[in-house]
Amino acid sequence: MTIKNFGARVVSVWEDLRPLTKKMLVGALQINSASLTAAANQNFSYDVHAEWELSRLLSALDEQTKDAAIRQDAEKLREIKQLAATCAKVLQAQTASAEVFIQLATRAVKRHDFDNLDRLADALARRFSAGEVAEIIRQTDLAQIRAIAYETLATMPLNNLTALLDDQLYYEIARNAVEQQAFEFDNEDAQQILEQIESDEMNGD
């Protein structure tokens, strides 16, 4: 795999990667490509900076797969897709960021990869905070992703949702999730909170 053959944008992003991030990617490439669990269990130096680097590289690689010249070179296209898949797998195994989740989920939707979308939904429920899930709903335009995020919020403890009600940015999102718990899940505590919300709204509080 020769990065310099992958196009100027990919080369530029690659050269900006820290040595630790490059080492992490090389290690991930050596793992069985089907094993997300194995990728997650490696002693990689994954941090917020590495996540940002991998996200940028993934965007560059995905963009490069659309290039007409690249698509005419089957071997080069295969290598670019392999590196992109590795970036995505490491991100999926580690991220708890709304922006990266949207990036990964959008890739899955565009590829009609609904099995992977289900895995992303599982990761969302296990690893993401209520605030990050609400941020996904706020940022994404894709109905499939919004539905997954709302479903995740609706299964979270009520305390997590009520905390979001104090943030004007997430108020409507949290209110919708409380309403979903109240009526779809027949949650009496959620019904009481919803009644209080509606009372406060009527009184202009």
* Residue 102, in any domain of the structure: no
Determine contact, residues 31/39, Cβ cutoff 8 Å: yes
- The whole-angstrom separation of Cα 183 and Cα 161 is 15
**Average of per-residue pLDDT across 91-111:** 96
Asked whether residue 76 carries a pLDDT value surpassing 80, the answer given is yes
Provide the domain count of the chain: 2
pLDDT of residue 74: 93
Asked whether residue 63 carries a pLDDT value surpassing 80, the answer given is yes
Residues with Cβ within 8 Å of 27's Cβ and at least 6 positions away in sequence, in order, are 42, 44
Q: Checking phi first, is residue 204 left (phi over 0); if not, alpha (psi -120 to 50) or beta?
A: left
Asked whether residue 75 carries a pLDDT value surpassing 70, the answer given is yes
Determine contact, residues 23/58, Cβ cutoff 8 Å: no
Q: Which residue has the tokens 């995020």?
A: 149
Query: Which residue range is the domain that position 156 belongs to?
Result: 113-205
Scanning the chain, the segments in alpha helix (DSSP H) are: 8-16, 19-29, 36-41, 48-64, 68-71, 74-94, 98-110, 114-127, 130-139, 143-154, 158-164, 171-183, 188-202
User: Of 33, 67, 94, at which residue does a domain stop?
Assistant: 94
Q: Are residues 141 and 70 in the same domain?
A: no
Least confident range from 40-49, 63-72, 111-120: namely 40-49
Q: Are residues 139 and 180 in the same domain?
A: yes
Q: Which residue has the tokens 């509080």?
A: 205
Q: Are residues 27 and 78 in the same domain?
A: yes
Closest among 191, 136, 180 to 156, alpha carbons compared: 180
Q: What is the pLDDT of residues 113-150, one digit of tens each?
A: 999 999 999 999 999 999 999 999 999 999 999 999 99
Higher-confidence position of 39 and 68 = 68
Q: Are residues 83 and 18 in the same domain?
A: yes
Closest among 124, 84, 122 to 101, alpha carbons compared: 124
Q: Are residues 41 and 75 in the same domain?
A: yes
pLDDT of residue 44: 64
Q: Are residues 62 and 141 in the same domain?
A: no
CA-CA-CA-CA torsion for 111, 112, 116, 122, nearest 10 degrees? 130
pLDDT of residue 42: 54
Q: What is the pLDDT of residues 24-40, one digit of tens each?
A: 898 888 875 445 445 44
